[in-house]
Chains A and B, each alone.
Chain A
C-alpha cells in the first residue's frame, strides 16, 4: 500500500503548496514547473529559486510550449545537477527524458520527480489565439467527469500512458473531487522523506484503479480510431507525397522533438547536401526535381532515427507551419517499431533502447 498526501484544496493549489513546502524547507534547492509569463496568457517552464515565484506558477496548465525533457537535458547535459531540484512535468515528458538519459543527453541525479495523471494538453495554436484560458473551465469539467477533454492534441486523446512511470510523486488530477481535494500518491521513500513535517494528512491509500482503467480503455479506443483514420498502410509513394508535399523543409519538427538531440542533424549536414551535379543527374532521370529535394527522405529518415523512442508528445505537429499530422504518423509507426521489441520508451531506465543492443538469435522473420 502506498502513502497518499491529502490536501483540502483544488489540485493546482494543492500541488503549488507541495512545491512551495519543498522549496521553503530546503528539501530541494529549486523547482521546475510551468509559469505564467507576460500578460497575454503565455506560459513557459521556469527554474524557480524564490519560493514566492511559485505563486506565479501554473503547474497543470494544459499547454506544452516545449517538451520539458529538452530543458531538463539542457540543465544536465554536461553534468548532473549539483543540487536537488523538484520538477513537475507530464508523463510523456518524463518518458522522453528517461530516453534522453539512456542516450547520455542528461541525468536524473538529484531530481525529485512529480508528475500527474495527465488529462492532455491543447495544441499551441490555442495559445496563439488566446483561447486556452477560455477553454480552461471545459477542460477541468472533463477531468472531473473522468473524460478526455475535446480539442486536446490528437496524440493526447489517444494516449494510454497517462499514468507516469518513474515519478516520486503522482498527483491525481483526474477525478470527481479534484476541485476540492488534492491527492498526491507518494511512490518512493524519497518522496515521503521530502514531505517530512508537512502539516497535511498522509495516510495509506492508492490511485483509484477502476477510474484510471476505464479512462485507459477509452484512450486506447481513441488511439485506434486516430491510427485507423490515417491509413498509413495505404499511403504508398503517392500518399506520402500527398501528405508531405507541402513541407517547407523548416525542420521545426526535428527542432522541437525531445528525442532529436543531434546538434547538427544529418539531414542538414554537408553529407546530405545535393550539389549541382546531383540536381543534374536527377533532372536527367526524372525530367525535373523538387527544390530543396529529399523531403520524403528527411521525414522517413527522421522516423527511422527517433521512431524507436517516440513518446507521442505531439510537439512536432504543433510546430509544423503547414499542419502535417506528423505526431500521428510518428506515434503510429513508432509504436509499430517499438512493438517489434515489446519496448515502451521511457518506462524502464535500465532497459536499453533496442537499437543499442541485440540478441544473438532474434528477428528471424527479417532474415532471408
Chain B
C-alpha cells in the first residue's frame, strides 16, 4: 500500500502542482526550478531553469509534448562544474529515469538536484503537435481524461512506468478527482515534505488500484506491439525495409538522452574509409547504397545504449522519416535489460552492467569445454 500526502485541489490539477511547487520554493526547499515552459510563439515548450518565481506563470509540469528530453537538460546544467545551488527538476518519469542513468554514466550530477516526477498519460508526437498546437492542446486534454488513448506516441502506449516511484518525490494525479498525492521516494523527498510540515502517511488505495488497472491495459498493448514488431520488422529483409527510408541524419542519436558523446563513434574517423573500400564493396555486391552502413549505425547505437534505453520516444519524435525507431530500440533494449537483469533509471547507485561482472555468468554464451 503506497503512502503519501493528500493535497486537496483548488482548481485544476496543473494549478495544484504549481501551487505546491511555489510553496516549496517560498519555504526555501530549493534555489532554482527546472520546468517546461510554453514558448512565446505558443507552438511548443522548452525547459527553463528559473531563479525568478514569477517566470512560473507559463510553466507546465505536464506539457502535451516532450520537446527536449529532460535528462539532456539536467545533464547540460550539472555535467560541467560544481553545482552550488539546489535545483528542483519536475518532469516525466522517463526523463527522471534517463537523468538517473546519466548520473551513473557521469554525465549528470544529481547530488544537488531534487527529482520530481508526475503521473504521465503519455505525450503527443512532436510532429502532430507543433504544426497545430491549438488542436494539440485539445487532444491532450482528452489524453488526460482517458489516460492515454490513440493520439499518444506509440512507445507511450506500452509504457509501464507512467506512475513509477522513482526520483525523490512523485506527484500522483490519478485516483482522485479532488486531490493530488505527494509520494516521497527518497530521503531528499521525505525531507522536503517534512520541512513543509506535510505528513506523508496516508494510504492511497485509490491510486494503487488505478495504477494496476492501467498497467494491465498497457501490458496488453505491449504484447500486441511486440507481436506486430516481430511480424513486421524482424529479420534481415524486414529490418532493411524498415530502415530503407533512413537518410542518416542521426537525429535519433542526437535527441536520445543516453547518447551523450559529443562526437559520436559513427560520425568519427573510425567509421570513415578510403574511397577504395566503398568501391570494393560496390564491386562485391553489384552496387552499394549511399549513405552506407545504415544498419551498422542503428545496431551499433543499440549496442552502445540499449542497456540504458528507457523507451522515452525522443528518437522517434526527432526522426524526419517517421521510422519507428523508439519502438524498435525499446524492444531490443528490454530484451537486453532482461538478459542482464538490469532495470535502468531505478537506482542511481547501481552500476551499469558493462562496467561490472561476475566470475560465473552467461555460461550459455561462452564455449569453454
Contact = CB atoms under 8 A, between A and B. Distances in A.
Interface of A: 29-30, 32, 35, 37-40, 42, 44-50, 52-53, 56, 65-66, 70-71, 74-83, 124-125, 127-128, 238, 241-243, 245-246, 248-252, 255-256, 263-264, 268-270, 273-280, 283-284, 287-293, 318-323
B41 A246 contact: yes
A80 B78 CA distance: 45
A245 B68 contact: no
Nearest to A78: B274
B-side interface size class: 35 or more
Q: List the 5 closest A-B pairs by CB distance, nearest first.
A: A38-B244, A287-B52, A50-B286, A288-B50, A275-B80
Nearest to A80: B275
A255 B251 contact: yes
Interface of B: 32, 34, 39-41, 43-44, 46-52, 54-55, 67-68, 72-73, 76-85, 126-127, 130-131, 240-241, 244-245, 247-251, 254-255, 262-263, 267-269, 272, 274-276, 278-279, 282-283, 286-291, 317-322
A166 B355 CA distance: 54
B278 A47 contact: yes
8 contacts: A47-B287, A77-B272, A79-B275, A242-B40, A252-B251, A274-B77, A320-B320, A322-B130
B47 A46 contact: no
Contacts of B47: 290-291
Contacts of B319: 321
Nearest to B252: A250
A350 B275 CA distance: 24
B50 A252 contact: no
Contact of B276 (A82, A252, A276): A82
A242 B81 contact: no
B46 A252 contact: no
Contact of B51 (A30, A277, A287): A287
B48 A276 contact: no
Contact of A288 (B41, B55, B249, B282): B55
A47 B319 CA distance: 25
A269 B262 contact: yes
Given A47-B282, A47-B288, A264-B263, A288 B321 contact: no
A321 B32 contact: no
B43 A252 contact: no
A245 B49 contact: no
Given A264-B262, A287-B51, A291-B77, A46 B244 contact: no
A50 B240 CA distance: 21
Contacts of B318: 248, 250, 252, 321
Contact of A46 (B46, B72, B289): B289
B67 A246 contact: yes
Residue of A49, A66, A276 with most chain B CB atoms under a 10 A cut-off: A276
B255 A248 contact: yes
Contacts of B44: 245-246, 322
A280 B317 CA distance: 30
Given A47-B288, A48-B282, A291 B267 contact: no
B271 to A, nearest CB: 10
Contact of B241 (A40, A52, A248, A249): A40
Contacts of A292: 68, 72-73, 76
